[in-house]
Amino acid sequence: MSSSSPRNSFRDTSPAGAPGRRRSRFTHRHLAQMASYNTTCPLRVVAHIDLDCFYAQAEMVRLGIPEDQPLAVQQWQGLIAVNYPARDFGIGRHCTVTEAKKLCPKLISQHVATWREGDVKWAYRPDAAANITTDKVSLDPYRLESRRILAVIRDHLPSHLQKVEKAGIDEVFVDLSAHVHAILLERFPELASPPPYDDPAEQLPMPPVSVLDWQADALVDLDEEHTEFDDPDWDDVAILIGSEIARSVRTAIRDKLRYTCAAGIAKNKMLSKLGSAHKKPNQQTVIRNRAIRHFLSGFKFTKIRNLGGKLGDEISQAFKTEQVGELAAVPVEQLKRKLGDDTGTWVYNTIRGIDLSEVNARTQLKSMLSAKSFRPDINSIDQATKWLRIFAADIFSRLVEEGVLENKRRPRAINLHHRQGGQTRSRQNAIPQGRQLDEETLFDLAKTLLNQISLDGHVWPCSNLSLSVGGFEEGITGNMGIGAFLIKGEEAQALKASSRASVAGDASDALHPAGKRRRIDDDGGGGGGGGGGIQRFFTRKQPSVGLGVDVRNNGGERLGNPPSLGTEMVSDGMMDSAHELSRGQSNRHRTPITDYMCRRCDASLDSSEAFQSHEDWHFAKDLQEEERVTPTFANLQSAAAASSGRTGLPKTGPAGTSAAGAASSSKRAGRPKKTERGQSKLNFG
């Protein structure tokens, strides 16, 4: 997009040189921080973009189905995605196909594509639902669409000013800070001049605008003590520009690929994600910094990432509330006393909308997995071999997309996991380097691993098989990638250890150096640093299958499959930072395949959201530790105060519980009544 295109979003209705204008709350340093994606920058702008009813839209686009036609995507007898017209009939993921058809007889229920035993390619088959024993779900069509969408997003943004994180099969975070920074300097040339006295701590001039023309579909109302008569400051302007960019990205996706999506625009990942979920479908929600408190205070904190589950339970018991607004009245010291220092501080910040997690511009896969749970169990090596053929074809077709034929990237390790009732066995092997990797090679390697497993004897019946590859290596040229000679530390050990046998409990041995290994029964708040560690809140599920890769259903989102569904596992590697084979994480997955595991502390998370938020917590904690001298995180209140006016959420509890709250309440008095959102004439001078 051209950052210089004229906009009507700003109108300066101020008399020239209006007297008594205050300076901005932001400094030249804050402005400069935008360009370097500093996560503590109070002018930061992050967007979260999430496709509407993604698999359903993919089928509608593929089949050319009119937008108002109710449609659901079926997997065996269950539904895994439901379009919005079908939702109007009360149809949801919880319905079976039969129930859904009762609710809406004209519903189109399109079964997902499947691989079929003996076939070499996945296909959409009219009889798939009846063939759960011989078919395996293929999510390739959605993965491909996901890539096309990502490509449109990246093409649309200036290549040198983009930071895009694929956060799921149908969603991305985009840190727009540097892009917005460039547009700010272009539209407001006064910002480009050096600070007075060359002092970056000097405040910026106020924006020369008195009206911001928000076109957003949903603009979250301001906090009680803010009104639309308040002057906009640079954070408002920045978020407005971010909103324009998000809108133009959505338009590009719509124009080029016909998909609609929702977006949230705010100052960090957590808020932007809550924003995109706020109004669906095909809308975008803007949460200005001055609206954060209002926005969050209406939430139950259990809806916030990582505050569901055990931690949420503990908090609600300790403080007798589930409301953010009420918890916000609890002083940080009290939170720390009950929850430990780290967690107390983290909770305190999180419910105030503070989230310093970075948008990770990683979009590359770290592992791929293809798996099948058998109903009924399979009983012979012949049957298993047929599945290995499918797994090899499935994985190879994904490797081709990743550029394996051009030697852009190739995996170095292959794993096979076998489950028999409660017992699991796994074998790993190195993938020979130095010659073109092909499907046959993968198949042969898989057969070798299966043979090794079957040497154990008593391996039938088998209830689940999964094949995975990982340890990707970049840009190999020539026959023997130089990378093969440059494998470092843990990775080297992982490869050396290849082909070593492992069974259930010690499955991690084969790929992980002893120092990094964690005991499966290690329940200690270990990673969290003792009593206060957040990890203690995450349930550890008994691991059953050892495998160091991403294990998810249906493209990696949380699962809501009816119990009768065959369990399919696929990986598109989007959570793979946590599962990278070479990183020394716990080498296992667990029977309930809904789990995510943190590579740093072994915490087990039950959704991708929880996982992300858990990673964010680590990040924030690291930051806190790095900055012990001038603590940034715990004491972010000053930064937050700069960006959101002040820190505390509105006091709903006893008076005087929060200094910030007290400060704000005095300001509240005598404010004019709220006016039309965003469009109003703003008062200044």
Q: Which residues bind ligand TTP (CB under 6 A)?
A: 50-55, 80-81, 93, 169-170, 280-281, 554-555, 557-560
Q: How many CB atoms lie within 10 A of CB 474?
A: 12
Q: Which does 558 bind (CB under 5 to 8 A by kind): ligand TTP, Ca ion, none?
A: ligand TTP
Q: Measured from the CB of residue 112, what is the shortest distance to ligand TTP in angstroms?
A: 9
Question: Which of 252, 246, 245, 228 shows the shortest CA–CA distance to 283?
Answer: 246
CB 492 within 8 A of CB 484: no
Q: Which stretch binds Ca ion (CB under 5 A): 22-30, 161-169, 428-436, 511-519?
A: 161-169
Q: Measured from the CB of residue 270, what is the shortest distance to ligand TTP in angstroms?
A: 17
Q: What is the DSSP letter of 276?
A: H
CB nearer ligand TTP, residue 427 or residue 590 = 590
170 near Ca ion (CB under 5 A): yes
Burial class (CB in 10 A: 0-12, 13-18, 19+), 434: exposed
> What is the residue whose two structure tokens read 């590859």?
469
- Gap between the Cα atoms of 106 and 100, Å rounded: 10
* Residue 324: φ, ψ to 5°: -55, -45
CB nearer ligand TTP, residue 27 or residue 594 = 594
CB nearer ligand TTP, residue 93 or residue 516 = 93
Q: Which does 223 bind (CB under 5 to 8 A by kind): Ca ion, ligand TTP, none?
A: none
Q: Measured from the CB of residue 76, what is the shortest distance to ligand TTP in angstroms?
A: 12
Q: How many CB atoms lie within 10 A of CB 497?
A: 17
Q: Measured from the CB of residue 586, what is the shortest distance to ligand TTP in angstroms?
A: 24
> Can you give the length of the chain in residues?
685
528 near Ca ion (CB under 5 A): no
Q: Measured from the CB of residue 169, what is the shortest distance to Ca ion in angstroms?
A: 7
Q: Which does 81 bind (CB under 5 to 8 A by kind): Ca ion, ligand TTP, none?
A: ligand TTP
Q: Which does 228 bind (CB under 5 to 8 A by kind): ligand TTP, Ca ion, none?
A: none
Radius of gyration of the chain (CA): 27
CB nearer ligand TTP, residue 261 or residue 335 = 261
Q: Measured from the CB of residue 526, what is the shortest distance to Ca ion in angstroms?
A: 31
Four-CA torsion 565, 566, 570, 574, nearest 10 degrees: 20
CB 678 within 8 A of CB 228: yes
609 near Ca ion (CB under 5 A): no
CB nearer ligand TTP, residue 71 or residue 559 = 559
CB nearer ligand TTP, residue 142 or residue 234 = 142
Burial class (CB in 10 A: 0-12, 13-18, 19+), 194: exposed
CB nearer Ca ion, residue 168 or residue 232 = 168
Q: Measured from the CB of residue 400, what is the shortest distance to ligand TTP in angstroms?
A: 23
CB 49 within 8 A of CB 269: no
145 near Ca ion (CB under 5 A): no
What three-state secondary structure class fits 483?
Answer: helix
* Residue 669: φ, ψ to 5°: -60, 140
168 near Ca ion (CB under 5 A): yes
275 near Ca ion (CB under 5 A): no
Q: Measured from the CB of residue 58, what is the shortest distance to Ca ion in angstroms?
A: 11
- Apex 472 CA angle, 116 and 616, nearest 5: 100
CB nearer Ca ion, residue 259 or residue 537 = 259
- Gap between the Cα atoms of 73 and 57, Å rounded: 9
Which residues face 10 on adjacent strands? Answer: 212
- Gap between the Cα atoms of 618 and 159, Å rounded: 29
50 near Ca ion (CB under 5 A): yes
Q: Measured from the CB of residue 565, what is the shortest distance to ligand TTP in angstroms?
A: 10
Q: Measured from the CB of residue 316, what is the shortest distance to Ca ion in angstroms?
A: 26
Q: Measured from the CB of residue 54, what is the shortest distance to Ca ion in angstroms?
A: 5
Q: How many CB atoms lie within 10 A of CB 630?
A: 6
Q: Which residue is nearest to ligand TTP (CB)?
A: 554
CB nearer ligand TTP, residue 528 or residue 555 = 555
> What is the residue whose two structure tokens read 């408190």?
293
Helix H segments across 510-651? 608-626, 637-644
Q: Measured from the CB of residue 317, what is the shortest distance to ligand TTP in angstroms?
A: 28
140 near Ca ion (CB under 5 A): no
> What is the residue whose two structure tokens read 């964690």?
518
CB nearer ligand TTP, residue 544 or residue 554 = 554
CB nearer Ca ion, residue 24 or residue 83 = 83
What three-state secondary structure class fits 166?
Answer: strand
Q: Which amino acid would we find at residue 152? A: V
Structure tokens at 2: 């051209």
- Gap between the Cα atoms of 574 and 368, Å rounded: 10
Q: Which does 169 bind (CB under 5 to 8 A by kind): ligand TTP, Ca ion, none?
A: ligand TTP
171 near Ca ion (CB under 5 A): yes
Q: Which does 525 bind (CB under 5 to 8 A by kind): Ca ion, ligand TTP, none?
A: none
- Gap between the Cα atoms of 271 and 32, Å rounded: 23
CB nearer ligand TTP, residue 330 or residue 369 = 369
Q: Residue numbers of the site for Ca ion (CB under 5 A)?
A: 50-51, 54, 168, 170-171
